[in-house]
Copies of this chain bind each other. A is one copy, B any other.
Amino acid sequence: MGALAHHWLLDFEGCPFESLDRADPVREALLEAAARAGAKVIGERFHQFEPHGASGVVLIGESHLSIHTWPERGYAAADLFTCSTSLDVDAAVEVLRARLHPSRVGRRRVERHPGLLPTPT
């Protein structure tokens, strides 16, 4: 059975503190990533942690994008969950790369669909 959805786990390392500190620019980055991927945004929710760091999720018609930042570690963990094969994941990653200025970017793709688990006997 083909994947019903793909879950991309995106790691951004070596980011400048300033690029991860405040929720507003992190939100702008995630919304631009969603737009550039061709996703339909249907809702969003962001949170500013004090003194530093942000969390946020953009709900899209194709599923979701999320991000959590640790400015003091120069690290952001994002994910892009999509049930569409037409989203441009590369474009979303490039937006986040341009906005967060990481020195390294990791991408892991996990398949999400029924049929992965053994049938109970």
The answer to whether B73 touches A45 (Cβ under 8 A) is: no
**Chain A residues close to B by CB (< 8 Å):** 4-5, 7, 9, 11, 13-14, 42-47, 55-57, 59, 63-64, 66, 68, 70, 73-75, 77, 79, 81, 83, 103-106, 108, 110, 112-120
B117 near A5 with CB under 8 A, answer no
Residues of the B chain whose Cβ atoms lie less than 8 Å from the Cβ of A56: 59
Instruction: Please state the number of chain copies in the assembly.
Output: 2
Taking a contact as CB atoms closer than 8 A, the residue among B57, B106, B113 that contacts A45 in the complex is B57
What's the Cα separation between A74 and B1 when bound, in Å? 15
> Across chains A and B, which 8 residue pairs bring their CB atoms closest together, nearest first?
A43-B45, A75-B114, A104-B117, A57-B57, A77-B112, A13-B114, A106-B117, A45-B45
Query: For A45, what are the chain B residues with a Cβ–Cβ distance below 8 Å?
Result: 43-45, 57, 59
